Structure 1
């Protein structure tokens, strides 16, 4: 590996002690809070399938969101430096996690579905091709061991 290294740090704090800690499987909440210096906290929990709070982000949500956000940020950068003017970008990303009989599991794939709007007169062919380059450069996609597919839609105007 060559080039610069960047360091990241977060603090994850369990906030789900309901008085008796983990004295029993149903005795505690899975709630947590993710913090980093100078940033707002993120309320977290486990997936509702694992007794989590459905109103809070779970690690699986955040993994899919990380892949989506990384792709988007690379894509916007590449469009800017290649003369493609993006005026709107939304991604309805989704991931599949397979639970194993022994209790573990893993993601089997994530699909990114960016819906990109370009300014009138923009080159939609070039814009579509930049999704491939963004995917190749995405730090998070390069760090996972499952396929990440991109199913982009481009609209001009």
Structure 2
């Protein structure tokens, strides 16, 4: 049985410096991303495109979404497979190529650093990354490769 899920967000531009978009350099790229429930995310464009480096940009949010989705599936699969994860940190990396008036992501690499409870869990913990990748809704929705390069260490060594 197929289930449908809907996600609604609101993006509010906050970069009007008094003259709107009267010129390319006359407006800010600042905005807020919000939804019912959690607080807003302060956003902008990438600094390479006149954005505010102290705010999230859409490209970072895409990489973060892929990392979050993979992590959540991975932790779920570990919990149902007898693998006890005690720490998880991902230093994800995305690569985008700009061409003309647009661009596209060429790949995202997830680099999770994981600690499991014991050495006998490492093999299963490693294998479960493939399963998490296949299950990730976000990775299944993009048109570029999403790779993962996990490092799994048993607790205490």
Give the alignment's TM-score, normalised by structure 2.
0.97
In 2: Cα distance, 1:123 partner to 1:47 partner: 40
In 1: Cα distance, 2:51 partner to 2:119 partner: 47
Please tell me whether residue 69 in structure 1 is matched to residue 68 in structure 2: yes
* Offset at residue 3 of structure 1 (A): 1.6
* Offset at residue 94 of structure 1 (A): 0.4
CA RMSD of aligned residues (A): 0.8
Q: Is the 8 A contact 1:85 1:122 kept in 2?
A: no
Structure 2 gaps, min length 5: none
| Matching residue of 1:136 | 134
Give the number of equivalent residue pairs.
155
| Matching residue of 1:98 | 97
In 2: Cα distance, 1:69 partner to 1:6 partner: 18
Moved over 4 A (4+): none
| Matching residue of 1:15 | 14
In 2: Cα distance, 1:29 partner to 1:116 partner: 39
In 1: Cα distance, 2:87 partner to 2:120 partner: 13
Structure 1 gaps, min length 5: none
